[in-house]
Structure 1
Amino acid sequence: NIPLCLCVIMAASSSTGSATEPPGLETQWREIDNLNQQQLRAGDSWYLLDKRWYDQWKEYVHAGDQNSSSYPGKIDNTELYEDLDSYHLKERLSENEDFVLVPAEAWHKLLSWYDMMDNQPPLERKVVDLPSTVKVEVYPVEIYLCLSSNMESTVSIRQHFNVSETAESRLWMRSTDTSSERLRNLNMTILDSCLSSGMVKYTHLPFTPLNSGHLLCYDSYRGPPGVCGLTNLGNTCFMNSALQCLSNTPPLTEYFLRNSYLEELNFTNPLGMKGEIAEAYADVIKQMWSGRHYSVVPRVFKTKVGHFASQFLGYQQHDSQELLSFLLDGLHEDLNRVKKKEYIELRDADGRPDQEVAEEAWRNHLRRNDSVIVDTFHGLFKSTLVCPECNKVSVTFDPFCYLSVPLPVSKERVMEVFYVSLDPTAKPTQYRLIVPKAGRVIDLCTSLSQATGVPPNQMAVADVFNHRFYRIYQADESLSCILDRDDIFVYQLSSGCVDQDGEEVVMAIYMRERSHYRDYGSGSNNYGTSLFGHPLLMSVPRAQCTREDLYQLLLKRLAAGVEPSGKEEEDEDEDEEEEEEAASCAQANKRLPGRLRNTEKQKKALFTIQAVNSNGTTERGMGEVDAQPYIAIDWDPDMKKKYYNENEAEKYIKHQSMDVPHQQITVQLQECIELFTTVETLEEENPWYCPTCKKHQLATKKLDLWSLPEVLIIHLKRFSYTKYSREKLDTIVEFPLR
């Protein structure tokens, strides 16, 4: 472990301050995009990048403007870490939703151009060769080795334990805190053995496993058949829940316990798995219903599933319905009584009675598909299509194995925002608002207006990320482009009092701290800057856009963070360093637009004001103040420490709306089924070819449940998709037990 830790520390420290001058924006995009096209090769390194940072970088390079507000800053993977002490990767992160993967060469280019947040280690992962595929192993298996007599020591194995090469040795996998399982096949790969992140205990005779007493207890366990747990092999709760549901389906379980499956195993079906899935499933069911086990470890079954469906390899979480669908299909094909499937030509209904057409469709289905799965779980849909032009009605009957019903989607959405008042002594307040799901930013302001009494047209909405404005929204923009995880700030801009000309400028204000360094080429002291705190949006009368007026306005605006004693002061004993600082400020003053320049001798102030670009870096040669300028409040570290209370300035309070739990919507299962059977119009991407009109039509379609199976599987479609995001629906669905 020690060399590995050293490598991580070196990589983290070497990334800081190593950014080089990047090429042009178009060149950046072309180079990274070309590198991202390369194929995965076993052994190669790929790196995880925070999706939000990567999207901001893409927006920045596509804007084609070095001064764009979407400048991403240093690479920041903070949202991917469990905590900032161990920098351990969060569980259950999703590719292209939480992170993106880039090859090593692309990573090193981005790192050299943008640098990385201090002390963050790069998230390097290897490409591994799996059955039928290669993939980046985002969550490698973490195995700790210890001698069974010393659970605290996790160093190495035989030679480190000073165990003779001739001594009989054994490996045990700790499944839970109270049970272990012996790893008998030492030639098996880690993948095939389904080792999960945990601990392997190494024993040599005459030692016995630490939990041998528990193991003997389990071997002699007698309990109700079927009342049996399934050990989690990592994030395999999705698999275990599906297995428990099927285990408690009497017709299917009795079929396997009676060994009826042995006579019906289909080893020649090209669509099946040579009977291996059926045999592995039968083994699990027999163990669970033997009454001899408190819990069962479905390791062999997990291995078989991963062998035939590579998406279930590894230990990431997956969709339980997807696993159930694969398993039922696999069991059906492994147990299909039809050994040779015949071709069947479908006939049109031609006005025949539904009953006749349905019976014909079911007979045709059984001629190709006949198994215990069909007997237990298959039913018939009735599908009715009506042409909008000639009113041609087409009725078909289609078999189904499970019913995927939609959930009524709420037309409202709950959003949490931070409201920043004009009152400089008032702390930001967090509100929970209910807004129209298909609404616009102005609707968010209207909802907040009802709680604050401030008119919506005096508010500005912005997404704050990494101490800068990631995006400032227009009133007519759709709320769907704002994600739930975004930090949304709503600023009160003005009280409606404007100057006699009626002109106001909305200013974006960043907080920066200076860090001095010496330019040995010129011999002068210069300084770099780093952003901190929350940025501000202020509406300022154009006549007050001079440096002196702005300084006073900002001083009042920062009242919540500036100590009472913090006021302009003269220091008659300015030392050499302060003189150099004043000279530096004078130089910065010359680079400001004319309206922001100082016309009097610069006093010793709490902070200085700089005109900056939208990403918070000082830009030379800027023109006059535009419709929404960006400025920075630059603090000297000593002045900031003495007069600015950062902790106080960043405090916020929670509005009572945050204490009221959001009322969860409850629907009946019957409502979901009725929604499933509602008449709908086909989408343009999926038209129906009308045999009468001889062209594709956007027909109306209605699904009905014609015949139900003995056991009906109902799948709730809990995800709603938009152009910008995938939303999980937390609607409670009540279903009858009888």
Structure 2
Amino acid sequence: MAEGGAADLDTQRGEIAALLKTQLRKGDTWYLVDSHWFKQWKKYVGFDSWDKYQMGDQHVYPGPVDNSGLLKDGDVLAIKEHLIDELDYILVPTEGWNKLVSWYGLTEGQEPIARKVVEQGMFVKHCKVEVYLTELKLCEDSNMDNMITRRFSKADTIDMIEKEMRELFSIPDEKETRLWNRYMSNTFEPLNKPDSTIQDAGLYQGQVLVIEQKNEDGTWPRGSTATNVKNSSYSLPSYHPYTNSYDYSDQSRPSERSGLCGLSNLGNTCFMNSAVQCLSNTPPLTDYFLKDKYTDELNEDNPLGMKGEIARVYAELIKQLWSGKYSYVTPRPFKTQVGRFAPQFSGYQQQDSHELLAFLLDGLHEDLNRIRKKPYIQLKDANGRPDKVVAEEAWENHIKRNDSIIVDIFHGLFKSTLVCPVCAKVSVTFDPFCYLTLPLPMKKERTLEVYLVRLDPVAKPTQYKLTVPKVGCISDLCTALSNLSGVPAEKMIVTDIYNHRFHRIFATNENLSSIMERDDIYVFEVAVNRVEDTDHVVIPVHLREKYKQSGYNHTSTPLFGQPFLIAVPRTLSEDKLYNMLLLRLYRFVRSSVEEDEDDCEETQPSKPHTVNGNATNGLLEEGSPSEMETDEQDDESSQDQELPSENDNSQSEDSVGGDNELENGVVGHQISSKGQQPVGHNRKRLFTFQFNNMGKTDFSLIKEDSRQIRFDEGHLRLSDRSYLSLDWEPEVKKKYFDETIVEDFDKHESMEYKPQKKAFFKLKDCIDLFTTKEKLGADDPWYCPNCKQHQQATKKLDLWSLPPVLVVHLKRFSYSRYMRDKLDSLVDFPLRDLDMSEFLINPNAGPCRYDLIAVSNHYGGMGGGHYTAYAKNKDDGKWYNFDDSSVSPASEDQIVSKAAYVLFYQRQDTVKGTGYFALDREEEEEDDEEEEEEEDEVEDVENETGEKLERKTVSSGHGASSAACTSTQSDEEDLNENRQRKNDNDQADDEEEEEDEEEEEEQVPNRDVTMKTN
């Protein structure tokens, strides 16, 4: 049995492993467990094969379930933002949670973190544990200053919320009530559908709900419809029948120009607002929706699409943004529809603007795909054919299945070349892309903060800031620390300490990526070379307080203090081991003790005993061996310090003659002071010690000629996997162990060092890196058709053709098994004249100069922060900053920053009036039709007058001729007069618009900064 009467470790491991495979079912309850604690439990029960050697080891006993790493400071109910499944927490079903708590208990003062399983998805339903609840602020209509915060599941209904509010505000059952959603401080909308869920109603984080009681005369304080507070300038809600939701727009400050309209933050939706504003300021796409061209191309039957609903709701939003009527609008219908088809965006957690952009472009493409029935196409390899032929074939095949305004505007083609390292087989394919994801030149170094615990028992730990290779090993950390501290790297052992125990002891060849930013890394100086010295063993030691739990027959041993490492000879006496341990604890053991008030005699201070020049305050055993951690001789025996008598010891004094079954199922040996005591046992010891070694005896007190375990020879034989626990009686610990200095440490001057970062990278550096040949990883091999097996081939990407609008995603976020990081390097990108010709391998590529039109920015770190957008208005050509509902002018020198995340470039030859977009082609066709009508009018005039048209033949070098039509002079003059009048009017309008722009420029100065490119 494990500690506390729990099931044995094999049973625990098997039962939890089976329960973790439980299928999610709507309405079930699951619980969050801190991954740090869960990993410790997995080690203890040998959950994974690589943890078997520690199975049952008391050293890794996890203790009570501890979720403190998930909770906000000072709040036992609210969890931290941006936690990630399996990295920060583990989800276990109710039965699994109950078993873990029954076996180990729950840390005092904590509450279980229970979450419901909800169903998401519009057409393809799937279940998900709702980790983050929606926080709502509840108040009464009669007293809105008294707000009470409660958290609800998005699956909870309006009726459930109303019932809770009635209970919170003690509203009698006979009183009739109704709920209001208070929006934008002074606007209210009724929540009159009790069966609607929080998700259906569009309620978001921090939303204020007001409960209203009916008056005694049968009237309602707020009337019978949605109302606004007196003198409010906000509009009444507009109802969207296909979303069953309202949205409000602020009409008090109409936008002076189209497109300069913000988007309200619905609760962590700045990522969405940023992406939408960038797309909104992509001229060809916005013109397409504003002119309702999308209505003719809606593909509601596309099984890969969204029934045309994404296209419709996006079109509606774009029309609001460009109506010029609002200073900002609330994109709740758009948010709701996106969440229906992409459940990952349905909640109110912070998301990635690029991921939202990718979904939106794909959704719009499928909703507007002109191909009604996609043909099956067999993909072909180049097989030595010319690139031009293969590229044209690939694009034609792509268009046969994918033909939409999104393809027209955003799709390009790149060439992928794979080479087998074994048979040299070359595979060339051409693949379409919608955006370029460019890697950033990675920082080659990272900084780590570590604590060095020196061999000197008096010295406090010292905190250092180290610069180490980002892709390096633990040995690199030791070398860097050795350079700063002077301690030899070969005498260092690197550990991760968590909850008073060694969470991990690192081998020197382990990767530094296994160290996370939040880990507490302690480096211990040991007396011997760990690798070369085979006569010594390094033992991990942790401290336990031993006391019996009331009502139980077993003893609890919670950990305390800081664990440490100690190097000892493989064979040593019990007395020597005790003295070595006591020396390591010297800093924490009080040198003098105040007697109880009722004691008659005062304790006389002891004469200090020194080891290697350090006072030990007389706590070492008299007559103990002289060797501590060196071969130097001790001084003469010291005067005794008064310690508790043996009669005060509550433990049994029986010596242990064999294996001892502990409360946690670990077999070990407890050293007793009774029996054949070594010299110096005339005082009571501060602690007893106990070895744990995964249930097998590989150390012992034995005779050289016998393998039988005995305790009468006074020597221990230890192995590399021995672990030591020091057990303290509560009274002794309280009296002698000073816990107030456990966390004391000194700071090295390196802590003041701030690493210098490279000023910036050029955008072209990122493109070069994107097109660099690379070797595929071992977990991502390529199947070679010649070798008939997977190979780590070399891969190279090249750009073949570029789209009219080039979307560039800067890959700032990096993930690994142990780390999440954001690269905040400045990428210098041009605002105009980005020449991509040097990166195109297509010799017949057309124009490829681009101007920047929009930027999605991300401020902050990994898993959090804030998104904004810079965008260039297509009408006035000026830059603006879009920060949720706020829109303000921006100067060009603001655009390039470390926050730039997604860049939008428009090719210069596709600016309105010069491009080839389908929209422009249709406009050109309309212009051609108008010219034909004018020619028809001329012919009609000619027929009416009966006069023949005069034609001239113009000779050319090839003998070709062109005809010029002439009409009667009067008709021709009338036609020319009309044309001249139209031109004059157009010119007057242009001049008036230029004057308006000049006036606006005087009000909002705009510096012209041209970004140079290499």
Compute the TM-score of the two structures, normalised by the length of structure 1.
0.84
2:763 corresponds, among 651, 662, 669, to 669
Matched, 1:206 2:221: yes
Matched, 1:584 2:651: yes
Displacement, 1:582?
2.7
Matched, 1:66 2:56: yes
Secondary structure of the 2:463 match is: strand
Matched, 1:358 2:425: no
Displacement, 1:407?
2.6
Gap change, CA 1:422 and 1:306, over 3 Å in 2: same
Gap change, CA 1:61 and 1:169, over 3 Å in 2: closer
In the alignment, which residue of structure 1 is the partner of 2:11? 27
Displacement, 1:328?
0.4
Secondary structure of the 1:117 match is: coil
Displacement, 1:104?
0.8
In the alignment, which residue of structure 2 is the partner of 1:10? none
In the alignment, which residue of structure 2 is the partner of 1:9? none
Could you tell me which amino acid in structure 2 is paired with residue 687 of structure 1? W
> 2: CA distance between counterparts of 1:694 and 1:637?
68
Secondary structure of the 1:41 match is: coil
Gap change, CA 1:118 and 1:613, over 3 Å in 2: farther
Gap change, CA 1:560 and 1:593, over 3 Å in 2: closer
User: Per-residue displacement from partner, 1:180-211 (whole Å, max 9, x unpaired)?
Assistant: 66556665321122312322123474346569
> 2: CA distance between counterparts of 1:344 and 1:392?
24
In the alignment, which residue of structure 2 is the partner of 1:134? 127
Could you tell me which amino acid in structure 2 is paired with residue 538 of structure 1? I
Matched, 1:105 2:98: no
Gap change, CA 1:173 and 1:133, over 3 Å in 2: farther
Displacement, 1:381?
0.9
Displacement, 1:639?
4.5
Displacement, 1:22?
2.3
In the alignment, which residue of structure 2 is the partner of 1:716? 810
> 2: CA distance between counterparts of 1:697 and 1:540?
49
User: Per-residue displacement from partner, 1:348-399 (whole Å, max 9, x unpaired)?
Assistant: 6576654454344334433332222112111111233456677665543322
In the alignment, which residue of structure 2 is the partner of 1:529? 557
Secondary structure of the 2:806 match is: coil
> 1: CA distance between counterparts of 2:512 and 2:96?
33
In the alignment, which residue of structure 1 is the partner of 2:782? 687
In the alignment, which residue of structure 2 is the partner of 1:8? none
> 1: CA distance between counterparts of 2:502 and 2:694?
8
1:470 corresponds, among 503, 523, 528, to 503
In the alignment, which residue of structure 1 is the partner of 2:68? 78
Displacement, 1:689?
4.4
In the alignment, which residue of structure 2 is the partner of 1:613? 692
> 1: CA distance between counterparts of 2:473 and 2:683?
46
> 2: CA distance between counterparts of 1:459 and 1:389?
42
In the alignment, which residue of structure 1 is the partner of 2:484? 451
In the alignment, which residue of structure 2 is the partner of 1:227? 260
Asked if the contact 1:420/1:427 (under 8 Å) is kept, the reply is yes
Asked if the contact 1:668/1:735 (under 8 Å) is kept, the reply is yes
> 1: CA distance between counterparts of 2:443 and 2:91?
34
Matched, 1:256 2:307: no
Q: Which runs of 5+ in 2 are unaligned?
A: 47-51, 149-163, 214-219, 236-248, 603-641, 658-668, 702-708, 710-715, 833-1014
Displacement, 1:402?
0.7
In the alignment, which residue of structure 1 is the partner of 2:543? 511
1:705 corresponds, among 787, 790, 799, to 799
Displacement, 1:448?
0.6
Matched, 1:46 2:30: yes
Secondary structure of the 1:142 match is: strand
Asked if the contact 1:506/1:627 (under 8 Å) is kept, the reply is no
> 2: CA distance between counterparts of 1:134 and 1:452?
54
Asked if the contact 2:572/2:717 (under 8 Å) is kept, the reply is no
Displacement, 1:233?
2.4
1:560 corresponds, among 580, 584, 587, to 587
Could you tell me which amino acid in structure 2 is paired with residue 245 of structure 1? C
In the alignment, which residue of structure 1 is the partner of 2:405? 372
> 2: CA distance between counterparts of 1:30 and 1:84?
36
Displacement, 1:298?
1.5
Asked if the contact 2:570/2:717 (under 8 Å) is kept, the reply is no
Could you tell me which amino acid in structure 2 is paired with residue 141 of structure 1? T
In the alignment, which residue of structure 1 is the partner of 2:574? 546
Matched, 1:429 2:462: yes
Displacement, 1:330?
0.6
> 2: CA distance between counterparts of 1:699 and 1:631?
49
Moved more, 232-241 or 116-125: 232-241
Q: How many residues align?
A: 707
Identity value in percent: 49
Asked if the contact 1:568/1:604 (under 8 Å) is kept, the reply is no
2:324 corresponds, among 281, 287, 291, to 291
Matched, 1:189 2:197: yes
Asked if the contact 1:193/1:299 (under 8 Å) is kept, the reply is no
> 2: CA distance between counterparts of 1:328 and 1:37?
35
User: Per-residue displacement from partner, 1:415-439 (whole Å, max 9, x unpaired)?
Assistant: 2211112233322111121223343
Gap change, CA 1:598 and 1:430, over 3 Å in 2: farther
Could you tell me which amino acid in structure 2 is paired with residue 561 of structure 1? F
> 2: CA distance between counterparts of 1:168 and 1:654?
61
Displacement, 1:462?
1.5
> 1: CA distance between counterparts of 2:496 and 2:788?
52
Asked if the contact 1:171/1:182 (under 8 Å) is kept, the reply is yes
Gap change, CA 1:349 and 1:120, over 3 Å in 2: closer
Displacement, 1:677?
0.9
> 2: CA distance between counterparts of 1:391 and 1:651?
61
CA RMSD of aligned residues (A): 4.0
> 1: CA distance between counterparts of 2:466 and 2:552?
55
> 1: CA distance between counterparts of 2:343 and 2:290?
29
Moved more, 328-337 or 429-438: 429-438
Displacement, 1:95?
0.7
Asked if the contact 1:507/1:538 (under 8 Å) is kept, the reply is yes
In the alignment, which residue of structure 2 is the partner of 1:96? 86
Gap change, CA 1:244 and 1:647, over 3 Å in 2: farther
Q: Which runs of 5+ in 1 are unaligned?
A: 1-17
Secondary structure of the 2:5 match is: coil
Secondary structure of the 1:709 match is: coil
Could you tell me which amino acid in structure 2 is paired with residue 592 of structure 1? Q
Asked if the contact 2:59/2:542 (under 8 Å) is kept, the reply is no
Asked if the contact 2:541/2:724 (under 8 Å) is kept, the reply is yes
Displacement, 1:98?
0.6
Displacement, 1:678?
1.4
Displacement, 1:542?
6.5
Displacement, 1:163?
9.4
Displacement, 1:345?
5.2
Moved more, 206-215 or 148-157: 206-215
Secondary structure of the 1:713 match is: strand
In the alignment, which residue of structure 2 is the partner of 1:143? 136
Asked if the contact 1:35/1:106 (under 8 Å) is kept, the reply is yes
Secondary structure of the 1:370 match is: coil
> 2: CA distance between counterparts of 1:689 and 1:505?
50
Could you tell me which amino acid in structure 1 is paired with residue 516 of structure 2? L
Gap change, CA 1:389 and 1:512, over 3 Å in 2: closer
